[in-house]
A and B are shown apart, each in its own frame.
Chain A
């Protein structure tokens, strides 16, 4: 009938892990999450209604989040956990706001919904009770005698007449979530969807623990048993699922997989406490993602060496006075401030990475035409301390001049024992 159908064996362990991951992700909506195994999650939303703007809004948000992760959901909202569970299991998709309305909502449910033992359900049927409404009309004492306490107590809990305390899901100290892929993924881009599921769990966990993640790593298990690790480093700590996913996509775009991937595992490596932030009195227009997020994305695509800020170093050899430094590191750029004092006003804004030899004719050096010297020589020398080291400038002895050619270009040139060189441009 369905030739493409693939049959998987049911694995309770994996179901439980998936439920725990989903509970982590639900941390974004409420801190009070409880597991209702094998297939239920109870979210206490009474305290979060104002934050999300009403029952309809929070339900929509939770359903969207589940949908993004590829789960199909049945839902219900009720004042008691048991009633909510029963209504959800019956596929009611309704929201009951007060305890008073509860019995009316429970009346049409089938007796099979609560998941009582089959024998109890069969007995109820023999009484002619097929709906919970029929059961509620019978005297409780007689029911207890015939069916035991279970069903009657459950009914009382569902109607809110007896308290029903829940055991809340404990969010783990360390975050690590694993995901086995339903099929082997051979292209790096294909991992983005699976990554989304893991990041949703991470975002929920971070919200609950009032933390931000600075670095996390994604471990890929290949089908030949080997593993590889993809480290993800954020420019500034964040708890934003979408931003993590964008960063992952940039990394995946550059990644080539050595072998198809079977499973993923996400661990949060560096987690810091979230600093408090006061809300704004007036809503302000969002102004884009900001500096750090943008730099982080550029670095992910172009490589860290390609996106740098300037740092200063106290060195009078021009090529050593500027160092590239990490834009996002705290206190980047300022290695020292005294370096500013060593500068005289006749230094150019642009520097050639390596001096460019200039042709010398009878009338002096040439760069797009003959160069006129406009200043007296400024002698820069020494540098013995790193001479002989690989890639170091070493000992220099140079006379620098400001020069201009016939086309109005201003250059910073020097002469040493080898001849004339162009080293900078006054732009």
Chain B
């Protein structure tokens, strides 16, 4: 009889032992986000499919869509339908094409009141690969729960854009990320994910137009900003 205790590493290698500091293994499908640092932090190694993802942004225009574009382009290239429900502005066709989205498979739903209903229909239909929705600020937990149920088990990437103030209220979405602008890109704070909580915020370099490094003076600026070093660099 060998009653010797197994070495610790052997025990830890067993499939039924879960370590508290490891991310939960998700059988559900994910799609690579296109950012290696982010994939390492997301359970399953990418944006989850079949569950809600909440993205909390205070202001538009900080690169929040650019963060998702690699994943959306991947879905679109595979022939999937994408839906934008109540987007704040209209998508600009040529820019969508340049980002790799197929415009004829990008549905824009302009719903003023029935945003939650539309999302539920789109998620439950199973015919969409990606659903991005901008719900009302006061969407309640019950509606979110319904959306989560509608998305469950379907191969759909469901993202909800919510204001940063929603971070204080609980939500049934298994993944919640707050986005903020940072000096050199976009700062992501994972508020909630399956597995251990994330400790530090993540800074990603998302593609931005123009040249970030220096300020180019426009015609109107010449007299005002003539003294700034940036303008000297251009001149």
Known contacts A287-B154, A289-B127, A408-B181; decide if A348 and B63 are in contact (CB<8 Å): no
Contact bitstring A313-343, B, C-beta under 8 A = 1, else 0: 0000010011111010001111000011011
Count of chain B residues with Cβ under 8 Å from any Cβ of A? 60
CB neighbours (8 Å) of A353 from chain B are: 89-90
User: Closest residue to A373 on the B side, CB-wise?
Assistant: B218
Q: Which of B8-16, B18-26, B39-47, B96-104 forms part of the interface with chain A?
A: B96-104
Interface: B122 (CB within 8 A):
yes
Tell me whether A410 and B220 are in contact (CB under 8 A).
no
Contact bitstring A407-427, B, C-beta under 8 A = 1, else 0: 111111001000010001111
Known contacts A351-B90, A363-B225, A425-B89; decide if A333 and B208 are in contact (CB<8 Å): no
Q: Within B50-81, which residues are at the interface with A (CB < 8 Å)?
A: 59-66, 69, 81
Interface: B229 (CB within 8 A):
no
What's the least CB distance linking A406 to chain B, in Å? 10
What's the least CB distance linking A286 to chain B, in Å? 8
Interface: B212 (CB within 8 A):
yes
A312: contacting residue among B61, B93, B126, B221, CB under 8 A:
B93
Tell me whether B107 and A377 are in contact (CB under 8 A).
no
Known contacts A290-B127, A340-B94, A410-B63; decide if A364 and B218 are in contact (CB<8 Å): yes
CB neighbours (8 Å) of B103 from chain A are: 309-312, 322, 333-334
A348–B63 Cα distance when bound, in Å, is 10
Tell me whether A409 and B61 are in contact (CB under 8 A).
yes
CB neighbours (8 Å) of B88 from chain A are: 350
Tell me whether A402 and B209 are in contact (CB under 8 A).
yes
Interface: A349 (CB within 8 A):
yes
Interface: A399 (CB within 8 A):
yes
Tell me whether B62 and A410 are in contact (CB under 8 A).
yes
CB neighbours (8 Å) of B114 from chain A are: 301-302
Known contacts A302-B111, A407-B181; decide if A351 and B89 are in contact (CB<8 Å): yes
CB neighbours (8 Å) of A425 from chain B are: 60-61, 89
Interface: A372 (CB within 8 A):
yes
CB neighbours (8 Å) of A351 from chain B are: 89-92
Tell me whether A349 and B124 are in contact (CB under 8 A).
no
Most chain A CB inside 10 Å of its own CB: which residue of B88, B94, B212, B221:
B94
CB neighbours (8 Å) of B124 from chain A are: 288-289, 294
Tell me whether A332 and B104 are in contact (CB under 8 A).
yes
Main SS of chain A's interface residues?
Answer: mixed
Tell me whether B127 and A292 are in contact (CB under 8 A).
yes
Tell me whether A415 and B92 are in contact (CB under 8 A).
no
What's the least CB distance linking A364 to chain B, in Å? 5
Interface: A368 (CB within 8 A):
yes
CB neighbours (8 Å) of B99 from chain A are: 349
Q: Within A363-414, which residues are at the interface with B (CB < 8 Å)?
A: 363-365, 368, 372-377, 399, 401-402, 407-412
Known contacts A333-B104, A351-B91, A364-B220; decide if A343 and B60 are in contact (CB<8 Å): no
B64: contacting residue among A294, A339, A342, A427, CB under 8 A:
A427
B interface residue numbers (CB < 8 A to A): 59-66, 69, 81, 87-99, 102-111, 114, 117-118, 121-122, 124-128, 154, 181-182, 208-212, 215-221, 224-225
**Pairs A–B under 8 Å by Cβ, sample size 7:** A289-B126, A307-B108, A334-B103, A353-B89, A375-B211, A410-B61, A425-B89
| Nearest 3 pairs of A and B residues by beta carbon | A333-B104, A288-B126, A408-B181
Beyond the given A407-B62, A411-B61, please list 18 additional residue pairs across the A-B interface where CB-CB is below 8 A: A293-B127, A308-B107, A311-B103, A321-B92, A321-B93, A322-B103, A340-B98, A348-B209, A350-B90, A351-B91, A360-B220, A374-B209, A374-B212, A408-B59, A408-B181, A409-B59, A424-B92, A427-B64
A interface residue numbers (CB < 8 A to B): 287-295, 297-298, 301-302, 305-312, 318, 321-325, 327, 331-334, 339-340, 342-343, 345-353, 360, 362-365, 368, 372-377, 399, 401-402, 407-412, 415, 420, 424-427
